Amino acid sequence: MGKVLIVFASRTGETQTIADLIAEGIRIAGHQADVVNVKNVKSEADLAAYDGYVFGSATYHGDMLQAMKTLLFIAEKAPLEGKIGGAFGSFGWSGEANDRIYQTMKNIFKMNMVADCLRLKASNLGGGVQMAQDYGRQLAQKLNA
């Protein structure tokens, strides 16, 4: 059984809801998933002992929340190369945050990423619940490989 850390930065709670749904998909696939608010990650030691990582942030004024930027600087010091990864986010008008997180994880941290990031306006719109759970399952499939 693999162990996945899902870290979210949320303004209104929607990004946390998406994180919880991704965790459900991972758990349904038989793996452990821990969902953590980005404010609770203080050092690279808080990122240790996981097989996979999913980072997500709301997009606000075209960018990720500052707390997620801080997490990415912390994560740069952690041994994430080759680990399974994914990125997600919620947004109102645009949605750049999850793309930036995904590209950082893939190109800077050199992680083994799922096919693409998950971008949702809200979990309750347009099949969002299923999409988020499916994203968790995709991550779990990479853990099984």
Is-contact 101 89, C-beta < 8 A? yes
Q: Domain tally for the chain?
A: 1
Whole-prediction pTM value? Answer: 0.93
- Give 56's pLDDT tier (boundaries 50, 70, 90): very high
**Average pLDDT of 27-47?**
96
With bands split at pLDDT 50, 70 and 90, how would you rate the model's confidence at 24?
very high
pLDDT in tens, 74-133: 999 999 999 999 999 886 666 678 889 999 999 999 999 998 888 777 666 667 788 899
Domain that holds residue 103: 3-144
Predicted confidence at residue 92, as pLDDT, reads 62
Per-residue CA distances from 57 to 31, 35, 49, 54, 144 (Å) = 23, 13, 22, 10, 26
What SS3 state is found at 83? Answer: coil
CATH of the domain at 32: 3.40.50.360
Q: Is the pLDDT of residue 21 over 90?
A: yes
